[in-house]
Each structure stands twice: as structure tokens, then as C-alpha cells.
Amino acid sequence: MSQESLYSVLKNIPDVQLLDFTHTPLSLQDCKAIGKVLSDFKNIRELVLNNCSLTTVTAKEIADGLMRAKQLEVLKMLRNQFDVSGIVYNLAFSPKIKMIDISGNEQCTNSQVVEAFFKLLKISGSIKSLVLSHTGIVKQLNKDFFIALGQNKTLEHLYLDNHKLSKFAKETVTPSVLSGLLKGVAMNKYKNGSLSHLSLSHSCNNIKTSLDDLFKNLQVSDQDHEYWYGEKKLADEMKLHQLEPKF
């Protein structure tokens, strides 16, 4: 595929809204072509790149195009193995992005990817669904991510599942990570966010604490909120009902 051949197909359908390259191994030139199409065709709302043998290098060409794909709402990149941080960070500035699905990418357990999703949650005013299943990312989540989750007003669905037979299902997720995640969920409700669905199937098989202890993190107080989003000095001075955790 080249820019010319792709354009020859698409030039007669400028209103195209969906590009689906599922099960198509994409070369560097292919990705350059896709990046240019994303930049120049203004009606594309969904891009599907499932099982396309993407690499960090080839995906960069697509990431550059995504910065200018202002109408894009859905991006699916299932079963690719590459660092998605560049693509995710660029989508943080996309005004209409609603869904990102990177399921099955096992190269998501580094700090750069977690940082990219934290920035997406912090910046995006449109994201509704994040599907990060079968990636192992849950064990790397940090306080910045949890704080951004609590602040985000649009996210409705967060999937962090693992396949029951995967290596990630056998790894231990620390209680502090799960506690922070649940506290982020509680803060999202406290701040009138939209989160309604959190899925963690087979992501905490080896957790070394009780569910009762974990679910206590779904109760937050005014003081908890002030510590996370306000001033420590004011939080330290709070008293009485301001210290009472509420579900």
C-alpha cells in the first residue's frame, strides 16, 4: 500500500467514516499513508487496527495523523504489541474521542503508557470508554492515574480485565494499587463524574488483603477530597463531619 494507492481508493468517497485494517500487517509506508489519510479526510470517525503487526516506529506515523483527525470517535488496536503511549497522548487532545481499545497488547506495563493514560483522563473532555483488558497495566497504575480518574467527568466504562490463563492473572497486584483505584472510583462519584462500570476480572486473583478492607476505599470524606484536590493545610485543619467517610 502507498499514499497514492490509498488515495486512489478513497478520493471518490471523501465522506468515508470508517477505516478497518483488521488482520492486515502494516508496513512503515502503509502507516505513513494511513497517517496522511487521517490528516486529510475530515469525516473519519472510527479507525480499526486490530492485529496489524504495529510497532512503536510504524505506529508513530499513525499517531501524527491522529493529532489532526478531529472527528475521530473510536480507535481499536487489539492484539498489537507496541508502546501505545505516543498514540494515547495525542488522542488526549482529540475533541471527540469516545473509545480507545488496546486489548491484548502486552507492552503496556511501563510507566510511559500509564502516564499517557493519566494525561488522557486529565485532559480529555470526551472519552467515555477505555478498554485496557489483557494488558497487565493494572499493576502499574499509580496515584496520578487515580487522581485523574476521580476528576474526569466523561469516562463511563473502564475495563482492566485479564484472561484467566494469562501470565498477568498469575501476577500479584498490590493492595495499594487496588485501594487507590477504588478510591479514584469513589472520588469520581464525589465529584459528580460519569463512571458507571469498572471491570477487574482475573486482575486481582492473588490479592493479599480482604475485600472488606479494599472496599473501605469506596468511602471517602471531605478531608480525603481536600488532600487529593485541595490544600494539605486546609485538610489538616478539618474536623468533625468533615472527617466522616461516606459511601
207 with 129, same domain: the answer is: yes
Instruction: Copy the grid coordinates of residue 238.
Output: 478539618
pLDDT in tens, 235-245: 999 999 999 99
122 with 232, same domain: the answer is: yes
Cβ–Cβ contacts within 10 Å for residue 172, how many? 12
Q: Which of 38, 69, 100 is the last residue of a domain?
A: 69
Which of 102-111, 116-125, 139-148, 161-170 shows the lowest mean pLDDT across its residues?
Answer: 161-170
112 with 182, same domain: the answer is: yes
Instruction: Copy the grid coordinates of residue 244.
Output: 466522616
Instruction: Compute the average pLDDT of residues 132-139.
Output: 94
pLDDT at position 192, please?
Answer: 96
Q: Running DSSP on this structure, what letter comes out for residue 139?
A: G
Q: With 90 as the cut, is the pLDDT of residue 163 above it?
A: no
% of residues, the chain, pLDDT over 70: 98
In a domain, 19, yes or no: yes
Q: Running DSSP on this structure, what letter comes out for residue 174?
A: P
pLDDT at position 195, please?
Answer: 98
In a domain, 60, yes or no: yes
User: Three-state DSSP class for 99?
Assistant: strand
pLDDT in tens, 25-65: 999 989 998 998 999 888 999 999 999 999 999 999 999 99
Mean pLDDT of the chain: 92
Whether 56 and 28 have beta carbons less than 8 Å apart is answered as no
87 with 187, same domain: the answer is: yes
Q: With 90 as the cut, is the pLDDT of residue 231 above it?
A: yes
89 with 201, same domain: the answer is: yes
pLDDT at position 3, please?
Answer: 57
Rounded-to-integer distance, Cα 191 and Cα 183, Å: 12
181 with 129, same domain: the answer is: yes
Cβ–Cβ contacts within 10 Å for residue 76, how many? 17
Domain count, the chain: 2
**Residue-range definition of the domain harbouring residue 181:** 83-243
In a domain, 75, yes or no: no
Instruction: Compute the average pLDDT of residues 13-36.
Output: 91
CATH of the domain at 170: 3.80.10
In a domain, 78, yes or no: no
- Of 153, 124, 142, residue with least CA distance to 178: 142
202 with 163, same domain: the answer is: yes
Instruction: Copy the grid coordinates of residue 38.
Output: 487521517
In a domain, 74, yes or no: no
